[in-house]
Chain A
Amino acid sequence: MSKQAPPPSWRHVGRHGVFPQGKLDDASRFDFLANMNRHLATRLSPKVRESFEKRVAPRTEQALGRPLKDRGEVREAMAREPIYQMWSALRRTTMEMRQQAGRAMVLRQLEPLIEKARALNDAAVTLQLDPTLEIPRTACAVDIHCMPGGYHTELVEDDITNGANYDAGIFATTGGMLGRWNDGGGQALAQWLKQKYPAFKPRRILDLGCTIGHNVVPLAQAFPEAEVIAIDVGAPMLRYAHARARSLGVENITFRQANADDLGYPDGHFDLISSAMFWHESSARSMPLQLREIYRMLAVGGLTAHLEQPQYGEDMSLYEQFIRDWDTWNNNEPFWGVMHDYDVRQMVLDAGFAADKYFETTVAGVVDREVFPVAESNGEDYGRAALWTMFGAWK
């Protein structure tokens, strides 16, 4: 571990037309944070596991007179373990520092950033905001993953603060493992499609919960003839996403502010419906509803594909379930644990898809290997690594 190369410096992050300008000190902050995350993941996290195996589990199971029965019991026992306390406290405070670092950088240049976004967006019909949209509880009950103001909060007119802050910090949070444009997930889906289904040429693509559009841009580039619709509930995300896509030369995406519960497109309208890291920010009410909507909106022969962190499942050890579930309790991801317990296959089938059309696979982030580290399962920062489950179905 000690010989592992440091994460790539933040100065390698892709700079498009609305990316905030970082000075030397901003880059140093993000580099510190990326290395903190690396330290926590590779040096301290294995010790957390060891403390569980050597101390907490034997002691607790002796006191209980039986094996630990679920991850809730593991969490309760680990809460008193000093190594876990320290790891958690450092992980939480590192994320808070990351938010402050990104927000400070963005806010001090907010006026020129908004001007750049306005110029790129230029009242285009491909940016469709709906100020009357009611922000769903899934997005506003808490600020998801401790991002102050969530996806939706607007500080000023035409605000892009939270979009720019989101974009600026992912690179540090993931140690660059999503690549220069933070788009390793979208690249992975595009590459998977091209390699596995070279004949598949979607004419209409829908991307759910697109945030800043980093994962939908690779799809739009892979299928330049396609009409792409990317939806999100947050206006600051969509303004930023649209300007970002434009400055990268991508013009076949319409960014629309809407709730995926009810999008109003005709039956069979889309050939491909995708999402990345979307379902864990949904709810027990919305997820089945939206899966049925996907089935309805998908054309026969069409594909739906979703990138997510791994499901827990019965095969996963209680410790791994517990540690992967950290975000539910400590990172304002209230639906994370519930979602990762689901039998997603059954949910997809319940939405109408045929059992023999369902698929599930593992994909790794596709990034420029010259600059960026390979996604590894070794020393994985649970819940952050560029290794995903992809599930979905053909209709």
Chain B
Amino acid sequence: MSKISDLDIIDLAGTRAKGARPYYFNDPDSDRLLSIVMAVAMEHAVTRQRLDALERLIEAKGLLSRQELDDYVPDRAAEGERGVWTQEYIARILRFVQQETETLRDGVDVDIHAVQDELR
């Protein structure tokens, strides 16, 4: 039997249950993707709850009211910075879509196997 200090707790926390897992969608890749997306959704909720707790604690200490936060209006400079951040954020999330659509501009991409053969 292991010692507690030897346990890989990250691995053990996420380990599978014995018994073949069913897949539900017509393509099992959709099951894979959904499971990852839902885990991200949960972690997003966890972050949101943490932020909410932080706001309430700050308010309770009288440093800032949540009304002030909700009523916050950025000045023009801040508005611009926040807009840029939002654009970058969306682009990061949709990077894959961007890269796939780049083939419209660039045509069919270089086949890596062909290059391997070429350079062999």
Which A residues are within 8 Å of any B CB, using their own CB? 24-25, 28-29, 31-33, 36, 79-80, 85-86, 88-90, 92-94, 96-97, 99-100, 103-104, 107-108, 110-111, 114, 142-143, 146-150, 154-157, 329-330, 332
Instruction: Quote the shortest CB–CB distance from A43 to chain B (angstroms).
Output: 15
Interface of A is mostly: helix
When the two chains form the complex, which single residue of B1, B9, B17 contacts A146, counting CB atoms closer than 8 Å? B17
Is B45's CB under 8 angstroms from A154's CB?
Answer: no
In whole angstroms, how far apart are the Cα atoms of A329 and B3 in the complex? 36
B49 at the interface (CB under 8 A from A): yes
When the two chains form the complex, which single residue of B12, B17, B19, B39 contacts A97, counting CB atoms closer than 8 Å? B39
Of the listed stretches B30-38, B75-83, B88-96, B105-113, name the one at the interface; the rest are far from the partner chain.
B30-38
B74 at the interface (CB under 8 A from A): no
Residues of B with C-beta under 8 A to A107: 7, 9, 12-13
Name the residue on B nearest A31 (C-beta): B49
B42 at the interface (CB under 8 A from A): yes
Instruction: Quote the shortest CB–CB distance from B33 to chain A (angstroms).
Output: 10
Instruction: Quote the shortest CB–CB distance from B36 to chain A (angstroms).
Output: 9
Is A154's CB under 8 angstroms from B1's CB?
Answer: yes
Instruction: Quote the shortest CB–CB distance from B103 to chain A (angstroms).
Output: 29
In whole angstroms, how far apart are the Cα atoms of A89 and B30 in the complex? 9
Residues of B with C-beta under 8 A to A100: 13-14
Residues of B with C-beta under 8 A to A90: 34, 38
With A28-B49, A100-B13 given, is the CB distance from A110 to B4 under 8 Å? yes
Residues of A with C-beta under 8 A to B12: 103, 107, 155
Chain B contributes a number of interface residues (CB within 8 A of A) equal to 32
Residues of B with C-beta under 8 A to A85: 24-26
Residues of B with C-beta under 8 A to A24: 49-50, 53
Is B45's CB under 8 angstroms from A148's CB?
Answer: no
Is A88's CB under 8 angstroms from B24's CB?
Answer: yes
- Can you name 16 A-B residue pairings with CB atoms under 8 Å? A28-B45, A79-B24, A85-B24, A88-B22, A92-B22, A93-B34, A103-B15, A104-B10, A107-B9, A110-B4, A110-B9, A142-B18, A143-B18, A143-B19, A147-B17, A156-B7
In whole angstroms, how far apart are the Cα atoms of A36 and B41 in the complex? 11
With A24-B49, A28-B46, A97-B38 given, is the CB distance from A150 to B13 under 8 Å? no
Residues of B with C-beta under 8 A to A32: 42, 45-46
Residues of B with C-beta under 8 A to A86: 24
With A24-B53, A156-B7 given, is the CB distance from A89 to B2 under 8 Å? no
Is B19's CB under 8 angstroms from A28's CB?
Answer: no
B16 at the interface (CB under 8 A from A): yes
Is B13's CB under 8 angstroms from A93's CB?
Answer: no
Is A332's CB under 8 angstroms from B9's CB?
Answer: no
Is A103's CB under 8 angstroms from B13's CB?
Answer: yes
In whole angstroms, how far apart are the Cα atoms of A263 and B19 in the complex? 29
Instruction: Quote the shortest CB–CB distance from B51 to chain A (angstroms).
Output: 11
With A24-B49, A107-B12, A114-B4 given, is the CB distance from A329 to B38 under 8 Å? no
Name the residue on B nearest A333 (C-beta): B19
Is A111's CB under 8 angstroms from B4's CB?
Answer: yes
Residues of A with C-beta under 8 A to B14: 100, 103-104
Name the residue on A nearest B31 (C-beta): A89
In whole angstroms, how far apart are the Cα atoms of A89 and B49 in the complex? 25
Is A29's CB under 8 angstroms from B42's CB?
Answer: yes
Residues of B with C-beta under 8 A to A150: 18
Instruction: Quote the shortest CB–CB distance from B56 to chain A (angstroms).
Output: 11
Residues of B with C-beta under 8 A to A31: 45, 49
Residues of A with C-beta under 8 A to B17: 96, 99, 142-143, 146-148, 332
